[in-house]
Amino acid sequence: MKISNKDPARHFDVIVIGSGLAGMALALNLADHKRVAIVTKRGLMAGASDWAQGGIAAVLADDDSVEAHIRDTLIAGAGLCDEEATRFVVENGRAAIEWLIEQGVPFTRDADNITGYHLTREGGHSHRRIIHSTDATGHAVQTTLAEKVKNHANITLLENHIAIDLITGNKLGLEDNTCHGAYVLDKNSGKVRTLAARNVVLASGGAGKVYLYTTNPDVATGDGVAMGWRAGCRVANMEFVQFHPTCLYHPHAKSFLITEAVRGEGGILVLRDGTRFMPDHDPRAELAPRDVVARAIDFEMKKRGLDCVYLDISHKPAAFLKEHFPTIYERCLDLGIDITRQPIPVVPAAHYSCGGIVTDRSARTDLPNLYAIGEVACTGLHGANRLASNSLLECLVYAKAAAQDILGHPDKPLATLLEWDESRVTDADEEIVISHNWDELRRFMWDYVGIVRTNKRLERAQHRIRLLTEEINEYYQNFRVSNDLIELRNLVLTADLIVQCAMLRHESRGLHYSRDYPELLPEAKNTVLTPDGLDVAKSQ
């Protein structure tokens, strides 16, 4: 059955899949000129952007420079950053911050700073350049933009809708593999909706939930990467999973991040007896890039059989901590930890995917009319390791770039699409299969594809992924889709892409550390996967 190409409830100029900073910024940059639908699988504020604590990196101070920010990014990226992409993002940093200020984002002010705003410093940065809203920057930004999204007449918000797959020319039997829309499950009704659009933008975030321990919210299940791959897009550098060094270690503190800024403001990492260990691992100590700090913590924990280490900033004045880290102070206090007097127990946790769908400077993917922005994309900015607080900046810069590209092309006629076919499936008989597979996947990914890897561990992970893939595909073909099934299907595929990339990299670089290949190869190359085969290629 075909759907009418005149139904305004199912046809849009642009469909944005994801409601984080990238998705909302794009929608607001387009909405004065285009009809936009935002598809988000929970509420508007459910994504990882709302959880961001530290801030946004941009050159704002007189003693800082674009060249210094570029240099810091390239160093952190361990030779794999695309220099043109890095320059593009950094040079557009100030404009991105000014746009947020115009929207009304309440960044923390500082009358003594010539910028008028307080700038903090984080690991890997040579200057104070992190603009923030105390220690809840993401929430301040998202709350501000969400109000504008909700009140814009040209933006249709589809909450509790999860995208299943992209609708491409191949699926419609057309000669060109252009993207024409998406199949979306309405979780309220249980019905699958067929949405058509002239352009589709993947802004669905990362895949932290592929690991047992993560700082990400539950919605971070690799949906965009999986959908893009199935549609025919290349993906790159999936082996570079950033483990944030300092996630709060407490049985009642699920996924609570202790921002990098705590170390930037003088916090030190210690063992239970108060012994500081970071200077033994790197001359930059606590201000080393995240991959260095995470590996150091992992080493100390494994060497000594520890459940956690400690982050101590109790030597700073109590008033300073309450002013600069109110969210962390209150959350820790609720759990019986007074950070003004006690160190904070911390462990590394999966935090950010540096790889993703390959895009160009306008956020275009390999498929015409399909864009990818934010954590789902591999732009070349992050290389083998993301510099702290560059992620929200990337969201803003590429959201604007994608919007400009979309607005620069004339509208094309909407395609006539086929309805979702449920004629040969039934209701699932045992949902327990999904939860068991989900748990198994996250545990073996943590054990075998974590901070430190070996060939044997990767082979074990790949074997289990193949078995899970067969089981899930059979389940998917025979039963009606559900939110959990869609997420599990995407997580297993994303895990497979991570492992494939990791097995192709025969060196240790940035976030990928292999005991079998501890040395750095003389030439830095991206790991690029194509849907019809594998290819290790030079930088795009």
Active-site positions?
A: 290
User: Can you point out the beta strands (E) in 41-178?
Assistant: 56-57, 119-120, 130-131, 155-159, 161-168
Residue tagged 């670089």 (tokens): 509
**Among residues 537, 534, 18, 540, which one has the least CA distance to residue 229?**
534
Q: Are 293 and 285 in contact (CB under 8 A)?
A: no
C-alpha dist (Å) from residue 223 to 65, 305, 334, 371, 498: 37, 35, 34, 14, 14
- The arrangement of strands across the sheet holding 119-120 comes to 56-57, 130-131, 119-120
Report which residue type is found at 414.
Answer: L
Grouping H, G, I as helix, E, B as strand and the rest as coil, residue 199 is strand
Q: Are 358 and 236 in contact (CB under 8 A)?
A: yes
Q: Which residues contact 522 (CB under 8 A, 6 or more apart)?
A: none
- Token pair for residue 398? 């590429």
Report the alpha-carbon distance of residue 10 to residue 24 in Å, rounded.
20
- Token pair for residue 163? 């995208």
Burial class from Cβ neighbours inside 10 Å (0-12, 13-18, 19+) for residue 184 reads buried
Residue tagged 């704002």 (tokens): 60
C-alpha dist (Å) from residue 55 to 40, 74, 128, 323, 399: 23, 20, 11, 15, 18
- Angle subtended by helix axes 483-504 and 455-478, to nearest 10: 150
Element (H, E) at 73: helix 66-76
**Among residues 29, 358, 406, 408, which one has the least CA distance to residue 199?**
406
Q: Are 168 and 178 in contact (CB under 8 A)?
A: yes
Residue tagged 């004629």 (tokens): 423
Angle at 235 (CA atoms; ends 125, 53), nearest 5 degrees: 35
H helix runs in 305-431, sequence order: 318-324, 326-334, 391-407
Q: What is the DSSP letter of 117?
A: B
| Termini Cα distance of the chain | 40
Strand duo 56-57 + 161-168: pairing: unpaired
Residue 519: CB atoms within 10 Å: 10
Q: Are 391 and 257 in contact (CB under 8 A)?
A: no
Strand duo 309-312 + 179-186: pairing: unpaired
Q: Are 197 and 37 in contact (CB under 8 A)?
A: yes
